[in-house]
Amino acid sequence: MSVSSPVRLGLNIDHVATLRNARGGARPDPIEAARLAVMAGADGITAHLREDRRHIRDEDIRRIKAEIAAPLNLEMAATEEMTGIALKTKPHACCIVPERRQELTTEGGLDVAGSAEHLLPVVKRLVQGGIRVSLFIDPEPRQIEAAARLGAPVVELHTGQYCEAWIAREEATARAELDRLARAATLAASAGLEVHAGHGLDFETATHLAAFPEIRELNIGHVIIGEAVFIGLPEAIRRMRAAIAKGVDKRPGGHAPAQQQQQQQ
């Protein structure tokens, strides 16, 4: 059962599907992983249905919607095929992401400012279909402003550059990237957007992002599934919830400056 928190945790189950697909067959079952995660405290399930179906498959999306009571956040490219699937499946939310077939994982945010004409009809159709739309963007003012003009109610800030710098212990870069995320979260919230974040987050960096008062949801996959190999999925979820709670506890009414957050760790 979900733990009450101002920051929701969405578990991305793509990597469970990757393990399954490595040998074919039905195991491990990503829908069973979703079920366990929700029982352990995840607030929702995220799954990216890619054009090449490299991990999540159409049947997975159908089963998540049918069998899992928690909200489904469908990550998708802004294509006619994916828009049709979303409108038929009716997930709670769709997060529109950039997608390149040759990438191992999503490498950056969506260029909303440069592709608004293409994105606008997709966003409108999804919103009219009763689906909450999120745009996965880099923490840049022009992208936030473009997202607000497009009418999507949510942005998810791409945290990849910050997480890479943090893991590499490149302190100056990490501080600069965390500051950039903090400014972006403030700007997005002031524009009336709900602010989510994700990509590359681990237990430490999730704590840092959860300290931002504007953050309402973190979507995390790889580190939780990786830790689950050693400690089990329910325990990995509980540890991530504890990391998020640690960040929330640092909210005195406004987040501390990014440099101070780094020093507190």
Helix (H/G/I), strand (E/B), else coil: 137:
strand
Active site residues: 48, 75, 199
CA gap 145, 107 in Å, rounded:
21
β strands within 93-149, DSSP E = 93-96, 132-137
CB 237 within 8 A of CB 3: no
Residue 95 Cα to chain centre, angstroms: 8
Helix (H) or strand (E) holding 224: helix 222-231
Cα angle 262, 188, 186; round to 5 = 40
234's CB contacts (< 8 A; 6+ apart) are: 36, 37, 39, 40
44 DSSP β-pair partners: 10
CA distances from 223 to 11, 55, 116, 145, 152 (A): 10, 17, 32, 31, 28
Owner of token pair 């931002």: 212
